[in-house]
Structure 1
Amino acid sequence: MLTAVDQSEAHAAIRSDLGVIFVSLELSKSSWLVTSLAPASSKMSRHSVPGGEIAGLLAVLAELRKKAGSRLGQPHRLVIIQEAGLDGFWIHRVLNREDWIESHVVDAASIAVSRRHRRAKTDRIDGEALVRTLMAYHRGEPRVCSMVRVPTPEDEDRRRICRERKALVAERVRHVNRIKGLLLSQGIRNYEPMHRNRRERMEELTTGDGRRLSGNIKAQICRELDRLELLLEQIRAVEIERDRLVASSANDQPSSLAMLTSIKGIGPEFAVILDSEGLFRHFDNRRQVAAYAGLAPSPWQSGTIDREQGVSKAGNPRLRTTMVQLGWLWLRHQPTSALTCWFNERVANNGGRLKRATIVALARKLLVALWKYVTAGVVIEGAIMKAT
């Protein structure tokens, strides 16, 4: 029987007469592995570049092109693939500046792998798998993988506002919970670190057995309050920047941010998340919109088995979470809209059950409706607009 390495070498002789040099990049912090397959060749070559040295990578790619050109008598373009990961998109942007390079970024989860319980995994095997995936994609095979639509630096920078605020709020929750936990261990339950009189209340606290707070635990809580107050200032600064972005978009006509904030129930935070995380992209149809947010259904059909597994959760998690939250707010602020009536009727038919599953379906419908509203100006049926 052939080992995994023998099988890898045996299957390396694949069709390579497509007129380009296929290259895959396996990126890590310490090194970059370059795997290539030239035209009229049956063997993949590998080169290692120290991690982060883009000049060394370009030199290796130029040498690959030079060798293939001297052997075949004419220069060939390089088609390069890399997985979306820690390095972001800066390598892709540098490679695309060269007119002899065509770069792609692939969603690693969309590449088919062995379904064995213990599959072999090395950078060498992954590099070869990426090359084969790239060749199939270049031949036009459908659904062989999902290529990432790389955002522009401007679009990528706009995301930072809402993402930073979310990280700061999560850190604020951790500090508040830590302060409350420390005080609860002393029998104190009625202290709110988020109140403005947090410092004055700290001096008045007494433990459950009637003592003043000890020196060390009081000092620890005060240091937690220092970090909490710094977080509050940073959150306030991010929110000011967010509001400035929304206000500046009001002068642009038509502006997706201005259109979103004109709907009752959608504030600046949700509008910025919807605009920067999803609605700034181009979608061909409503299915692509739902799939990008991870709200598309996942059927399981085989023979007589036919059931739904719920939403795929394969898309943008921030957009998906926001849409579910917006679904609940939509029921409160848009009670007469067609979507709210559909939700109430669906829940009533189920006897008041399955609200959580139905709200996800409402989130999917609402996202599609907002996409149509922003791109084509189709007003959501029955939606209440804010007073100008």
Structure 2
Amino acid sequence: MHISTDRSEAPTAIRTNLCAIFVSLELSRSSWLITSLSPGNGEKLSKHAVRGGDVTGLLARLSWLREKALSRTERHFPIIVIQEAGLDGFWLHRVLQAEGIESHVVDPASIATSRRRRRAKTDRIDGEAVVRTLLAYKRGEPRVCAMVKAPSRKEEDRRRITRERKVLTGERVSHVNRIKGLLFAQGIFGYEPLRRDRRARLEERRTGDGRALPAHLKAQICRELDRLELILEQVKTVETERAALLAEAEDAATPTSAAMLLDVKGIGPEFAAMLWSEGLFRHFDNRRQVAAYAGLAQTPWQSGSVDREQGVSKSGNPRLRTTMVQLAWLWLRHQPQSALALWFRGRVEQNGGRMRKTMIVALARKLLVALWKYVTAGIVIEGVVMKAS
């Protein structure tokens, strides 16, 4: 094998004109690892740890890095900080911005990693990788990573209503199924815990062999009903808050996304609030960004003669994606003459009635893009039926 000898024997380091102090934060409950690359320090990455949650210690360390760079170069440099999106949310990102520090939050899944089967992974290695990613991002390299756009405090607080309701409805289903399962084991069928007369009907029930409910079983079911009734009351409270939020949106001088969505037949308060709080409050440059944010973008696999689709990416907002698939099924019922519903039926008939589940995901993607155009540009979906005034 011929090896070129044009290059120097000594390794040549890649030099970049660093005009800032680049810092990555690896956050955990016990400690925060600070990895930094400063001007005047060569290519050496310095690492320092502070106690988890110690904002004062973090700011002191960043100030020390700025003073150290000043003593080496006699120049003042700004600090650019990056952290991975995770359980810590965006509170630290907002603290850094309030201190006048440029801060970024990156999607950890978008950072390139080694494809070895057994790759080394430590906080130190991850910190260095995130610093290199930040350097490439600031150099303007395309698609080097995906930065997360942090919502405002108001936007973040507003979406808690729909998220809490989803959690409560899941708990409601769990309690209902548990009660039915306990009664089913005794040969009792047809009992509905969500009826208002649930306790009176429980007294009337007899086991499959004609006996009254055992004392301990009845006490257990009564405690389950207590928890179920508490959840039902909390669901009503959350729905009241949601109704007040939507009423405020409808009364606004400028129509909001939620108010416009409520005008479309088939979209009720839950879907309107979910779409508004989870996705359509954001700014998107094009339809591809809209689909990618919901995880409904296509994922091709092309290499040589191989060319196939892997399905949707599922890398976006899971709540928005689930809502859109549910809304797509309801769209076929409430908007049967719309252009999107006709497109869906045509494609299914073309495939001999098969691939309905695959095509419903495609319809969810098209519907989300169409609703985004409707709330941002006022483009009404072709053939859609609006609610009566």
TM-score category of the 2 structures, normalised to the smaller one: over 0.9
Aligned to 1:148: 148
After TM superposition, give the deviation of residue 16 of structure 1 in Å: 4.9
Residues 13-24 of structure 1: matches in 2 within 5 Å? 15-24=15-24
The one-letter code sitting in structure 1 at the alignment partner of 2:339 is A
C-alpha deviations, 1:244-269, integer Å up to 9, x for none? Answer: 11111111232211110000000000
Aligned to 1:177: 177
Aligned to 1:247: 247
Q: Secondary structure of 1:348's match? A: helix
Give yes or no for contact 1:16–1:42 (8 Å, CA) kept in 2. Answer: no
CA distance in 1, matches of 2:165, 2:157: 14
Aligned to 1:3: none
CA distance in 2, matches of 1:313, 1:58: 37
CA distance in 2, matches of 1:159, 1:126: 31
The one-letter code sitting in structure 2 at the alignment partner of 1:27 is L
After TM superposition, give the deviation of residue 354 of structure 1 in Å: 0.5
Unaligned runs of 5+ residues in structure 1 are: 1-10
After TM superposition, give the deviation of residue 148 of structure 1 in Å: 0.2
CA distance in 1, matches of 2:206, 2:212: 5
Aligned to 1:237: 237
CA distance in 1, matches of 2:16, 2:220: 65
Give identity over the alignment, percent: 70
Aligned to 1:220: 220
Q: Secondary structure of 2:251's match? A: coil
Residues 97-246 of structure 1: matches in 2 within 5 Å? 97-99=98-100, 101-246=101-246
After TM superposition, give the deviation of residue 112 of structure 1 in Å: 0.9
Residues 265-344 of structure 1: matches in 2 within 5 Å? 265-344=266-345
Give yes or no for contact 1:16–1:37 (8 Å, CA) kept in 2. Answer: no
TM-score when normalising by structure 1: 0.95
The one-letter code sitting in structure 2 at the alignment partner of 1:106 is V
Give yes or no for contact 1:24–1:131 (8 Å, CA) kept in 2. Answer: yes
After TM superposition, give the deviation of residue 369 of structure 1 in Å: 0.5
Aligned to 2:97: 96
CA distance in 2, matches of 1:217, 1:51: 47
Aligned to 2:7: none
Give yes or no for contact 1:14–1:42 (8 Å, CA) kept in 2. Answer: no
CA distance in 1, matches of 2:292, 2:286: 10
Structure 2 residue 388 is the aligned partner of structure 1 residue 387: yes
Aligned to 1:68: 69
Aligned to 1:261: 262
TM-score when normalising by structure 2: 0.95
Structure 2 residue 367 is the aligned partner of structure 1 residue 366: yes
C-alpha deviations, 1:208-264, integer Å up to 9, x for none? Answer: 121111111111111111000000000000001111111111112322111100000
Give yes or no for contact 1:265–1:334 (8 Å, CA) kept in 2. Answer: yes
Deviates more, 1:304-313 or 1:110-119: 110-119
After TM superposition, give the deviation of residue 14 of structure 1 in Å: 5.5
Distance change in 2, residues 1:16/1:183 (3 Å)? farther
Deviates more, 1:146-155 or 1:14-23: 14-23
Aligned to 1:4: none
Aligned to 1:346: 347
Give yes or no for contact 1:21–1:37 (8 Å, CA) kept in 2. Answer: yes
The one-letter code sitting in structure 2 at the alignment partner of 1:80 is V
Give yes or no for contact 1:20–1:38 (8 Å, CA) kept in 2. Answer: yes
Distance change in 2, residues 1:176/1:317 (3 Å)? same
Number of residue pairs the alignment of both structures matches: 376
CA distance in 1, matches of 2:200, 2:67: 73
CA distance in 2, matches of 1:169, 1:14: 56
Q: Secondary structure of 1:131's match? A: helix
Give yes or no for contact 1:16–1:38 (8 Å, CA) kept in 2. Answer: no
The one-letter code sitting in structure 2 at the alignment partner of 1:35 is T
CA distance in 1, matches of 2:67, 2:77: 9
CA distance in 2, matches of 1:143, 1:73: 35
Aligned to 1:29: 29
Unaligned runs of 5+ residues in structure 2 are: 1-10
After TM superposition, give the deviation of residue 17 of structure 1 in Å: 2.6
The one-letter code sitting in structure 2 at the alignment partner of 1:96 is Q
CA distance in 1, matches of 2:96, 2:326: 39
CA distance in 2, matches of 1:116, 1:207: 60
CA distance in 1, matches of 2:75, 2:134: 22
C-alpha deviations, 1:176-228, integer Å up to 9, x for none? Answer: 11111111111112111111111001111111121111111111111111000
CA distance in 2, matches of 1:176, 1:271: 27
